[in-house]
């Protein structure tokens, strides 16, 4: 397993929209610094819903992007989904909260899945893409940064699964916005989930 692409973006306007977005990412050559807030130099425009320490780096697995390419009928270029890193051979469905991705000095820890939004649909030029992405159940992966460092394409990646009870990315997407059973709430809270979700679940107790 290795990094296939490192992607950053700048603030751009979507066609027909007044606001700027950082969803347009493009693969870059050479090393890029990752700190607690993510890739240095990467644009994050809506910090209410994007970025932050528990959503600092966004990963896509190449196996998931290849599946989307088969659906679209054409290749998916790195950065198309707004991802920062594309990981060779990774299937998003196999990732759970607390899984760690280690490359060089960098350690990333999965915290939550990507929930599609209107900006994503506009980026894909498909008003039905939110529903399509949700049905596909292959959500991308948000991570917090445990250890800073430099990343670049070609670096080997060690994927280490969480040792506790697993909360997978597809399950997180399926249960988004729903009230969990007491057993599932306890399982979620036992994993290192995104702090916003943790606050919501603790308020339900």
CATH number of 84's domain: 2.40.33.20
CA distance 121 to 127: 5
SS3 of residue 65 by DSSP: helix
Alpha helices, H only, the chain: 62-72, 118-123, 129-136, 169-175, 182-189, 195-204
| Domain count for the chain | 1
**Predicted TM-score (pTM) of this structure:** 0.92
Instruction: List, for residues 135-175, the tens digit of each pLDDT value.
Output: 999 999 999 999 999 999 999 999 999 999 999 999 999 99
Q: What is the mean pLDDT of the chain?
A: 92
| Residue for token pair 């445990």 | 146
The band of 49, judged by pLDDT with boundaries at 50, 70 and 90, is low
Burial class of residue 167 (count of CB atoms within 10 Å of its CB; 0-12, 13-18, 19+): buried
Range of the domain at 131: 3-204
CA distance 173 to 196: 15
């Amino acid at each position: 397993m290795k990094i296939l692409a490192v992607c950053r973006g700048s603030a751009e306007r979507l066609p027909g929209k007044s606001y700027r977005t950082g969803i347009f990412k493009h693969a870059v050559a050479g090393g890029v610094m990752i700190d607690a807030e993510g890739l240095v130099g990467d644009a994050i425009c809506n910090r209410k819903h994007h970025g932050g320490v528990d959503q600092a780096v966004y990963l896509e697995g190449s196996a998931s992007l290849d599946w989307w390419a088969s659906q679209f009928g054409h290749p998916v270029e790195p950065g198309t989904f707004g991802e920062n890193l594309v990981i060779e051979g990774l299937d998003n469905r196999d990732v759970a909260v607390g899984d760690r991705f280690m490359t060089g000095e960098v350690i990333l820890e999965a915290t939550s899945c990507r929930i599609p939004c209107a900006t994503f649909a506009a980026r894909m030029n498909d008003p039905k893409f939110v529903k399509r992405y949700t049905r596909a159940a292959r959500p991308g992966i948000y991570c917090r940064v445990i250890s800073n460092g430099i990343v670049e394409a070609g670096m080997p990646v060690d994927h280490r699964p969480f040792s506790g009870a697993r909360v997978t990315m597809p399950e997180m997407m399926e249960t988004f916005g729903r009230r969990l059973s007491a057993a599932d709430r306890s399982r979620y809270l036992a994993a290192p989930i995104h702090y916003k979700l943790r606050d919501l679940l603790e308020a339900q107790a």
